[in-house]
Every structure is written in structure tokens, then in C-alpha cells.
């Protein structure tokens, strides 16, 4: 990941050593409630193996082009649930089940009853470069495009915040950001970043900043739980061989087996840390094509497709009139963070 801080007021800006992003909570929006009712973890139990990793070739006719890794929902027989609650619950199992049954009943009648209470995506009259890309740091929500006579703006209105949200205390009535000003700054930075004379330095920065500590720590913790559970089961088996009544060990053996199953499912569902070499990063950047030509193209669709290819994200702070621009252009290098220069 490469980041660049840009200011509306300054042509050049001294960058801080680290970037901090703090988004105020936006109350209980409808999408938040829906996410809770769609995730069984909020019932207090631990679930493992809900997603299965699949590797798909980028081009079936060209194996050398490599593959892309995706996560898909696993079948019900692959999902493991803890025997006891693992953390405090937000919703009860009964409420969670009732919500799912209610949603299924609404979709059972076909198009006449499906999605009546959910907002459908509105068709766009024209494409917007930064649609779904810019977020407001005051509330953490995505800014919406708003065409005006003098150009396109991206805005975050406070009236759409949930009543009682802490963000209302500091959020202005509306936050605006001009598209053309942001586009000029972003395109200039991307052009310099992927210029032939700077490409080697960009590759080195990405390779050196690959962060795999979080995934590695998670896998190591799961391995430790698995080893401990297997050691306990071995001791129980030895105790039974020594003459201990098996009925006295039924409950602890069931708990150890549940821990072992959960740890195995977590290891299967968590991808192993996979750092890329400089050659792989070079190949992924080369797959983007001529970045300079794409940025110079007057077609909005061409520039927007490049933004999506590098996974461009913008965090806009209205109080300082600054935007943190973040890209993740090399597929699996999605946890690296490099501070861009001026």
C-alpha cells in the first residue's frame, strides 16, 4: 500500500511520519443493523470456516499469467461453531434466527415481495471518477457525487447521520470536495509514482513494506491452540488406558475436541502469509499497462478503470482540507504501507 497526503492549500506538503485515521461512529444505521443480523458471530459464539479460499487462473489460456485468490462462502458442513459462547452477544440466537426466517419469507414470493424494504441502487446518468472511493474522516462514510454548474463535487451531508450520532457534534452541515481539483492532484502523484524512472523505487518500497505480522500471529495462535488441544486429548487417552473411568472424562474430552476442530478450521480458512518478490511486484505493475497514457485519456471510464485497478482510496479531512490518498496496486500486497513523498 502506498499513501500520499495532499492539501488543497499547499503545492507541496511535508508528510508526517505516520498516518492516523480516526472515524467517529455514525450511530446505528440500517446497514449496521443488517450487517449484525447477517453475521452469526454477533450471537456470542465463535464460527470458523465460513469462507473457503479458492485460486483461479487470471487467464485460463495462459497459465504463466498467474492466479488470483478469492474467498467464497463455504458449505454448511464445513462451518464449525464453538460449543460455548466465546464473547458477549449483541443479539440472541432466537432473534438472529427470526430475522433470517423473516428475510427468507419476504423473498419467497419472488419479485413482488423481494427487497421491498431495501433500497435498490440508483442508475447513474453519468459516471463519476471517485464514486465509492472518497470517505469523510469526520464520520467515516462515503461521499456522494453531486454535479453542479461549475463542476462535480463530492459531499457528505450531516442531515443523513443517525440521530444522536457523536459525529453530529463536530460535523459541518455539508462537507464538499471538488472532483477536478482532487483528480489533478491524484493523477499527478500516480504519474510520478509509476513513471519509468521511479518504478524501481516504487517496487522496492512495496516489497520492503509488506506487512504479514498480523496474519502470521493469527496462524501461530491457532497452531498453539491446536497443539494444546491434541496434547490434552493424548493425556486423556493415556489416563483411560491407566484405568480412569472414561465417563469422568467425557466433558473435558468434548471441549478439547471442539477446540481442536475450531483451530483446524481457522488454519484452513486463514491464508498463509505470502510475501511477494520484486519480480512478482514488477509483473503486477506491468499488468497495469501505460499508466501515463491512461491518466492523460480524456475518457472518464478509462481513468476510473485505472483507479479501480490500483484500488484507489481517499480519506478527506475537511478541517485541514487534506486528503490521504491510498493505493494497493499489486494484488496480494494489500497490507503494505509506504509513505509517499512530495
pLDDT of residue 24: 39
Give the Cα separation of 24 and 165 in Å (integer).
9
Cβ atoms of residues 152 and 180 within 8 Å: yes
pLDDT tens digits, 108-119: 665 555 544 444
pLDDT tens digits, 23-76: 334 566 677 788 888 888 889 998 888 878 778 887 778 777 777 777 788 887
Report the percent of the chain where pLDDT is more than 70: 73
For cell 496480494, the residue is 332
Tell me which DSSP letter residue 40 carries.
G
pLDDT of residue 238: 86
- Higher per-residue confidence, 210 vs 207: 207
Average pLDDT of the residues of the chain = 75
pLDDT of residue 154: 92
Give the Cα separation of 111 and 108 in Å (integer).
9
pLDDT tens digits, 209-238: 665 555 566 777 888 888 998 998 888 888
Question: How many residues does this entry show for the chain?
Answer: 342
Extract the C-alpha cell encoding 252: 473435558
Mean pLDDT of the 176-200 span: 86
CA angle 307, 310, 315 (to 5 degrees): 70
pLDDT of residue 332: 46
Q: Is 13 left (phi over 0), alpha (psi -120 to 50) or beta?
A: beta
Q: What backbone torsions phi and psi does residue 318 show, to the nearest 5 degrees?
A: -70, -30
Extract the C-alpha cell encoding 160: 443523513
Q: What is the DSSP string of 139-206?
A: T-PBPEEEEETTEEEEEEEGGGSPTT-GGGGT--SEEEEEHHHHHHHHHHHHHHHTSHHHHHHHHHHH
Mean pLDDT of the 150-172 span: 84
pTM of the model: 0.50
Residue 17 has pLDDT above 80, yes or no: no
Q: How confident is the model at residue 259 (pLDDT cuts 50, 70, 90)?
A: confident
Continuous H helices in the chain? 30-38, 93-108, 179-193, 196-208, 213-241, 250-269, 278-286, 291-296, 300-309
pLDDT of residue 84: 87
Mean pLDDT of the 229-248 span: 85
Report the percent of the chain where pLDDT is more than 90: 2
Residue 272 has pLDDT above 60, yes or no: no
Q: What Rg, from alpha-carbon coordinates, does the chain have?
A: 25
Cβ atoms of residues 306 and 294 within 8 Å: yes
pLDDT of residue 29: 67
Q: How confident is the model at residue 12 (pLDDT cuts 50, 70, 90)?
A: very low
- Choose among 174, 128, 157, 151: nearest CA to 314: 128
Give the Cα separation of 253 and 260 in Å (integer).
10
Amino acid at each position: 500500500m502506498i499513501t500520499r497526503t495532499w492539501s488543497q492549500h499547499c503545492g507541496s506538503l511535508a508528510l508526517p511520519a505516520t498516518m492516523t485515521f480516526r472515524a467517529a461512529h455514525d450511530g446505528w444505521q440500517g446497514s449496521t443493523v443488517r450487517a449484525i443480523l447477517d453475521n452469526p458471530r454477533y450471537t456470542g459464539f465463535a464460527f470458523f470456516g465460513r469462507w473457503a479460499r479458492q485460486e483461479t487462473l487470471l487467464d485460463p489460456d495462459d497459465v504463466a499469467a498467474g492466479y488470483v485468490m478469492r474467498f467464497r462462502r463455504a458449505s454448511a458442513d464445513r462451518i464449525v461453531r464453538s460449543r460455548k459462547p466465546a464473547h458477549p452477544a449483541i443479539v440472541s440466537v432466537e432473534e438472529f434466527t427470526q430475522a433470517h426466517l423473516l428475510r427468507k419469507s419476504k423473498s419467497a414470493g419472488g419479485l413482488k415481495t423481494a427487497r421491498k424494504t431495501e433500497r435498490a441502487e440508483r442508475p447513474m446518468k453519468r459516471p463519476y471518477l471517485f464514486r465509492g472511493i472518497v470517505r469523510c474522516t469526520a464520520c467515516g462514510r462515503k461521499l456522494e457525487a453531486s454535479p453542479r454548474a461549475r463542476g462535480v463535487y463530492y459531499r457528505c451531508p450531516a442531515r443523513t447521520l443517525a440521530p444522536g450520532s457523536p459525529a453530529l457534534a463536530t460535523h459541518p452541515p455539508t462537507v464538499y470536495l471538488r472532483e477536478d481539483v482532487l483528480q489533478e492532484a491524484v493523477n499527478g502523484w500516480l504519474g510520478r509514482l509509476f513513471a519509468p524512472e521511479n518504478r524501481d523505487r516504487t517496487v522496492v518500497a512495496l516489497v520492503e513494506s509488506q506487512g504479514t505480522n498480523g496474519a502470521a500471529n493469527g496462524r501461530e495462535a491457532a497452531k498453539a491452540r491446536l497443539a494444546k488441544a491434541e496434547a490434552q486429548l493424548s493425556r486423556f487417552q493415556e489416563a483411560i488406558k491407566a484405568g480412569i473411568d472414561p465417563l469422568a472424562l467425557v466433558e473435558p474430552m468434548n471441549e478439547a475436541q471442539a477446540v481442536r476442530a475450531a483451530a483446524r478450521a481457522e488454519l484452513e480458512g486463514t491464508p498463509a502469509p505470502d510475501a511477494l518478490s520484486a519480480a512478482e511486484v514488477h509483473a503486477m505493475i506491468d499488468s497495469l499497462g501505460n499508466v501515463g497514457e491512461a491518466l492523460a485519456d480524456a475518457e472518464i471510464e478509462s481513468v476510473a478503470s485505472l483507479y479501480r485497478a490500483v484500488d484507489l482510496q481517499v480519506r478527506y479531512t475537511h478541517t485541514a482540507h487534506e486528503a490521504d490518498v491510498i493505493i494497493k496496486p499489486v494484488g496480494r500486497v494489500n497490507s503494505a504501507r509506504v509513505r509517499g513523498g512530495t
